[in-house]
Amino acid sequence: MTESTTTETVQSIIAELKDKPGALLPILHGIQDALGYIPADSVPAIAGGLNLSRAEVHGVISFYHYFRDTPAGKHTVHLCRAESCQSMGSNALEAHVKNTLGIDYHETTADGLFSLEPVYCLGNCACSPAMQIGEEIYGRVSAESFDEIINDLGVEA
């Protein structure tokens, strides 16, 4: 995406949502949905649109785990670390995932295919361990099924 269309996208999202009460989170979601992250250079525009300081906007972006200020890989693996998943062996799965992808949490593979993020519960606790990739949620994930899912996504890409 070129710089000018990025700015245009950001501006149109701000214009569309800025009059909602408490508009900042909807705007940040809108930008992240459209661009995959919230570019640093969109902060002044958001601040201007909402009559906030840049520090306030930055503070909100950095407070929430879900918002990111750098592009993610093509697929982001959200791996659940919470108690229910731990009770079904997610610690071993976590080690396998990190080892297979060769990255730690908050990192992206060198080929830009996968980012890895921890998540604290997907509400899928009846079928732990769980993970989410895009809008797909996977339950009873094992090392084998993880490899299959990742291979399929890698081939697709």
Partner 1 sequence: MSITVYISGDSTAISIGANRTAAAVVKEAAQRGVEINLVRNGSRGLYWLEPLIEVVVNNERVAYGAVKPSDVASLFDADFLNGGQHPLALGSVEEIPYFKKQQRLTFARVGITDPISLDDYIAHDGYRGLKNALASSQAEVVKQVTDSGLRGRGGAAFPTGIKWNTVLNTPSEQKYIICNADEGDSGTFSDRMIMEGDPFVLIEGMTIAGLAVGANQGYIYLRVEYPHAHKALNAAIAKAYEAGYLGDNIQGSGKKFDLEVRLGAGAYVCGEETSLMESLEGKRGLVRFKPPLPAISGLFGKPTVVNNVISLASVPIILDKGGDYYRDFGMGRSRGTLPLQLAGNLKHTGLVEIAFGMTLRELLYDFGGGSTTGRPIKAVQVGGPLGAFVPESQFDTPLDYEAFAANWTVLGHGGVVAFDDTMNMAEMARYAMEFCAIESCGKCTPCRIGSTRGMEVMDDIINNVDREKNVVLLRSLCDTLLNGSLCALGGMTPYPVLSALNHFPEDFGIDG
Q: 81: closest CA among 116, 126, 129?
A: 129
**Position among 67, 71, 76, 143 found at the interface with partner 1 (CB under 8 A):** 67
Span of 96-104, 106-114, 130-138, 149-157 interacting with partner 1 by CB under 8 A = 130-138
* 71 prior amide bond cis, ω within 30: no
For 143, the token pair is 């090392």
Interaction of residue 66 with partner 1, rule CB under 8 A: yes
Task: Determine the Cα–Cα distance for residues 73 and 85; give it in Å rounded to an integer.
Answer: 24
Best CA proximity match to 101, nearest among 134, 148, 150, 36: 150
Among 3, 135, 144, 156, binds partner 1 (CB under 8 A): 135
Measured from the CB atom, the residue of 102 and 134 that comes closer to partner 1 is 134
**Residue found under tokens 């503070």:** 59
Quick one: which of 6, 67, 61 has its CA closest to 32?
67
Site for partner 1 in 23-42 (CB under 8 A): 23-26, 28-29
Cβ 122 to partner 1, closest distance in Å? 5
CA–CA separation, 141 vs 79, rounded Å?
10
Contact string 81-120 vs partner 1 (x = CB under 8 A): -xxxxxxx------------------------------xx
Residues interacting with partner 1, by CB under 8 A?
21-26, 28-29, 50, 56, 59-60, 63-67, 78, 82-88, 119-128, 130, 132, 135, 137-140
